[in-house]
Amino acid sequence: MSDRPFPPVAWLSTGALALVVAGGIIMASYAPRRPPLMVPTVLFVVAALALASAWVLLGRHRPFAWRTFRRVFRWALLAYVISSGMIEFAFVRDHTRGAPLVVVSCLLFIFATSVPTTIAVTTARYAED
């Protein structure tokens, strides 16, 4: 183990998750009507910045159990891509089209990648490869 403190990767990815869940709730509360897009879009952008920051911090951290991270990340990503696809299908089934569907898709992308990031980082943080 390194004496270097671990960067706040899990905190940032969990914060990104909280932001996209809030944006998703706003979007879902208007279905099937057309929602206002400003707040969910801002939430998406802030979440994307938080998640990108988490990835950058993680990439700069040495040493790290990358093999364990990849193994856990892949399986968690599979599960959350399926979940995101089901949520996307619900929005499409509710006749969400155009810009609102794009915003929902962007929010779901962050959802599908932030949770596996948190799970994999938490697992690999203490693993030894």
**Confidence (pTM):** 0.90
For 42-93, the pLDDT digits (tens) are 999 999 999 999 999 999 988 889 999 999 999 999 999 999 999 999 989 9
Instruction: Report the phi/psi class of residue 98: left, alpha or beta, with left for phi > 0 and alpha for psi in -120 to 50.
Output: left
What tens digit of pLDDT does each residue of 1-25 get?
555 688 999 999 999 999 999 999 9
111, 21 Cβ separation under 8 angstroms: yes
First to last CA, the chain: 11
The secondary structure element, H or E, covering residue 35 is: none
d(CA 36, CA 60) in angstroms, rounded, equals 38
Residues 12, 17: Cα–Cα separation, whole Å: 9
Task: Kindly report, residue by residue over 79-96, the tens digit of the pLDDT.
Answer: 999 999 999 999 899 888
Question: What does the block give as tokens for 36?
Answer: 């206002």
**CB-based contacts of 95: which residues, under 8 Å, 6+ apart?**
32
Which distant-in-sequence residues (6+ apart) come within 8 Å of 112 by Cβ?
A: 77, 80, 81, 83, 84
Let me know how long the chain is.
129
